[in-house]
Amino acid sequence: MTNYIWGLLESWAPTFSGQIQTTSTSTVMTSHGTDVWQMVWHAGLVVQFVLLLLVLFSVLSWSIILAKYKAIHDARKENAEFEEVFWSAGSLSAAHNQTKHLVSSPLAVVFRLGYAEMGKVMRAQSGEGHGENILGQGVIENLSRALSRGQAAESTRLGRAVTFLATTANTAPFIGLFGTVWGIMDSFRSIGASGAANLATVAPGIAEALVATATGLFAAIPAVVFYNYFNRRFQVLENEMASFAQDFLNLVERDLMRRTGPAPEAAEPRGAARP
């Protein structure tokens, strides 16, 4: 009995080894002959359109990421230079002249708007012959509004196009999932048409469809990471602008108070009894 079993194994061994060699050879050929680009090339038109759309989203997102990263870097660098020059300058006019070249600094932009508005109001009210107290009150009110407008304008400039990153982060995975679902549907239709339901028939179509999901994640992950990063940096810059606006208002108000002197005491009514 034992000799009989060994004889069967010896007779099957050559055939079994040949099948193993054939399978391994086909696997190697498949692994070398099939890559991501071939899967994209052989994908359906809908899947290819989804992949093209996701690549466009990714390219635009990275363009915004690089541009905003440079803008934030320049803003932080020039803000530090502006603060050093502003607080060391002897007067507002000197600070204005020494910071004209800082075009990327939100603080410098806000200061220039406030300085220009302060000059306009003081010239206008001085020409009309208003008193010093009315002049000071008008300067502070108009200056506060000008600084608020400058802060809003700079916040809008810095945050422009960043919402596209949020759009990409929210929609890219679902667009990729749509391409995957469509590709799997095509695979099942081809299975039904051919009547073969083995792994060799299903795997290529599913692999091509899954490329869409991977591309969607590739576009969404950097977008959501840098969107959160930029929002945090924008909040810091906005807080710096708000703090500088308050400091600038206090500085101007103290200067006006120094010019006008203390408020006069109220006149004592006639006939009042003296202690």
- Give the pLDDT of residue 228: 96
Q: Over the chain, what is the mean pLDDT?
A: 77
pLDDT single digits (tens) 242-255: 999 999 988 888 87
Q: For 105-129, what is the mean pLDDT?
A: 81
Which residues, including other chains, have CB under 8 Å from residue 148's CB and lie 6 or more apart? 245
pLDDT single digits (tens) 122-175: 777 665 555 555 455 667 888 888 899 999 999 999 999 999 999 999 999 999
**Whole-prediction pTM value?**
0.72
pLDDT over threshold 70, residue 37: no
Number of domains in the chain: 1
Range of the domain at 70: 37-260
